[in-house]
Amino acid sequence: MIRRIALPALVLAVFLVAARSVAWLAQAPAPEPQLRPDLIEIVKLEPTISLDIRYATPNNFTGRAVYKQARAFLQRPAAEALVRAHRALKEQGRGVVIWDAYRPWRVTKLFWDLTPVEKRDYVANPKEGSRHNRGCAVDVTLKDLKTGAELAMPSAYDEMGEAASPDYPGGTPEARANRDLLRAAMEKEGFRVRFNEWWHYDFRGWEKYPVLDLEFSEIGK
């Protein structure tokens, strides 16, 4: 189960609406001269990669859908690297499942506003923008290609605690082995895991891309 912020449902609903309004009115950090964005929809490169876009559903730490579409984009070099990792894992009967990839800046602002101060190590500060906003971060897990089931991991997605660390020594041996298999495949292709989230991977060169605030429906237009 996903661990959600402990707020009564009505209070959370009211706060979410207010926070979303503030986030949508705020402005993203102005980008400096960098590489030209080239966001590509990942499943167009590799249709066998699975999507479980949690922020397009209520099954996330906010308890509400914050995306209008269940789609996943990355800058082209990052997308190509992810595809290579997926294809290597397929040889072991495993496949990549994407929980999140490119994220509009306004959603990062919303997450920051919704997250208690003591948990903000798990969300990006909108003043700098996140690596997700640059199209160079992806949240992933693994599935069994025979059964289609997501593999056991030491923590749930977006769990804000010790078990989310990529070096957490607890959990079952199977869960740790799955986590470490994912990490090895991703790091081989130029990704680096976030220090406190085993599912979050940043692609090398992320800092060269601007912070973006495009809706999914605007990409490619």
Which of 91, 128, 174, 197 is catalytic? The answer is: 197
Classified as helix, coil or strand, 71 is coil
* Tokens encoding 198: 């085993």
Cα Rg for the chain, rounded, in angstroms?
A: 17
Q: What is the rounded CA–CA span in Å between residue 3 and residue 135?
A: 26
Classified as helix, coil or strand, 200 is strand
197: annotated active-site residue: yes
What are the residues facing 74 on neighbouring strands? 40
CB atoms within 10 A of CB 122: 17
List, by residue number, the catalytic residues: 197
